[in-house]
Amino acid sequence: MSTQPIVIIGSGLGGYTVAREFRKLDTTTPVMIISADHGGFYSKPMLSNALATGKTPASIVTASAEKMAEQLKLTIRPYSRVSAIDPSSKTVTLQDGEKVSYSKLVLAMGADPIRLPLEGEGAKDILSVNDLEDYQRLRDALGGKKDVTILGAGLIGCEFANDLATAGYRVQVIDISVQPLGRLLPQTGGAFMQRRLEAAGVVFHLGATAEYVERIHESFRLTLANGETLQTDIVLSAVGLRPRTTLAQAAGLGVNRGIAVNRSLQTHNEDIYALGDCAEVEGRILPFVMPIMHAARGLALTLAETPTPIRYPAMPVLVKTPACPAIVSPPAAGVQGEWAVEEDESGVKALYKTAEGKLLGYALLGGATKEKNALAAELPAVME
């Protein structure tokens, strides 16, 4: 039996869930988590709806690194960054030059916010929120300010728009799409979401792109592609995430959009695995809570010497927009079907079906969300 630890790079939901599930199966094999930050455990999805409820960064952390180390009987290396992975010697090198040996290596490094290629000296001051430190910077920047402009009307953009508007800020949202949540909702659903968020105070600029960002004293002026200008105190970017793949690529591991892994979450190297936002599982990137939980449970079994290919059931996505509650189970990319949409004043029920009537996905908004349990049993698995 190897005396070297299982090393997990990353202390987010994926990394900690693998460690927790593994400890249920194996209480003796050493495990080390290497974390670039404080290493405390918190729910990252909470960050996009924490302002309206007054949550501070400290209150979002549910357990410190010390507490997690004690609970899970493992070693945590906070504020430690990995600079290189050497599969041949089965070591990782930290930025201070220290080498750490592993028996198995789990990459749970997450993703970085995508930065739009904007012109202007104000572009460098655009904020994004991807961790607790980012959330603290946003809270600090909001002090004494009232106007916030969000780049992106996707899932995170809409959640922040709802949260900021509820917290009393004047919110504008810019997106190249003609509707909010363009990748998740059919047109009718997007229009319903837009109306509900507008009623909460959000102003949308759709079919639009920002091109230039100027600093005007303590505020910004954004110039859109159509020549329109917007004045704002804060610019928050929420246009998506890019999997962190640099370390894996430098180590010679397969990388496409994310770190390429098979159904067992194994990379091209038999001792290195990846999951969560940084991983691409047989061509799919699944950056949501439920896929990460399923992946972590399966990987824990594999690490405990019970090889377990991952099976993903249907995994609806909860959109945290209280002004317009929404649950979406998007159809898999490339599947053929059509949306059948029912709408009334209370909500939208949209079902994506084949010509034969087989349900492949759904979008439920407003009052229609109460039907989620009845529909769940009809949905096919994402990955059998």
What order of strands is seen across the sheet that includes strand 6-9?
75-77, 31-34, 6-9, 104-107, 272-274
- Whether 123 contacts 286, CB under 8 Å: no
The pLDDT of residue 315 is 83
**Helical ranges in 34-94 per DSSP H:** 57-60, 65-72
Amino acid symbol at 196: R
> Domains in the chain and their CATH numbers?
6-112+241-303 (3.50.50.60), 115-237 (3.50.50.60), 325-376 (3.30.390.120)
Give the list of residues 6+ apart from residue 273 with CB closer than 8 angstroms, or none. Answer: 104, 105, 106, 107, 261, 264, 265, 266, 267, 299, 302, 303
Contact call for residues 35 and 11 (beta carbons, < 8 A): yes
Q: How far apart are CA 80 and CA 192, in angstroms?
A: 45
pLDDT the model gives residue 40: 97
Q: Encode burial over 268-291: b for 16+ CB neighbours within 10 A, e otherwise.
A: ebeebbbbbbbbbbeeebbbebbb
Q: Is the CB of residue 45 less than 8 Å from the CB of residue 13?
A: no
Phi, psi dihedral angles at 145 (to 5 degrees): -105, 165
Output the pLDDT for position 334.
76
CA distance 283 to 303: 22
Q: Are the C-beta atoms of 252 and 87 separated by less than 8 Å?
A: yes
Encode 270-308 in three state secondary structure: CCEEECHHHEEECCECCCCHHHHHHHHHHHHHHHCCCCC
Each residue's pLDDT expressed in tens, for the chain with a length of 384 residues = 468 999 999 999 999 999 999 999 999 999 999 999 999 999 999 999 999 999 999 999 999 999 999 999 999 999 999 999 999 999 999 999 999 999 999 999 999 999 999 999 999 999 999 999 999 999 999 999 999 999 999 999 999 999 999 999 999 999 999 999 999 999 999 999 999 999 999 999 999 999 999 999 899 999 999 999 999 999 999 999 999 999 999 999 999 999 999 999 999 999 999 999 999 999 888 888 999 999 999 999 999 999 999 988 888 999 999 999 999 998 877 789 999 999 999 999 999 999 999 999 999 999 999 999 889 888 877 765
Residues 6 or more apart whose Cβ sits within 8 Å of residue 264? 273, 298, 299, 302, 307, 308, 309, 310
CB count in 10 Å sphere of residue 133: 12
pLDDT given at position 384: 58
The token pair at 46 is 């909470």
CB atoms within 10 A of CB 30: 15
CB of 378 closer than 8 Å to CB of 359? yes
What are the tokens at 19?
């460690």
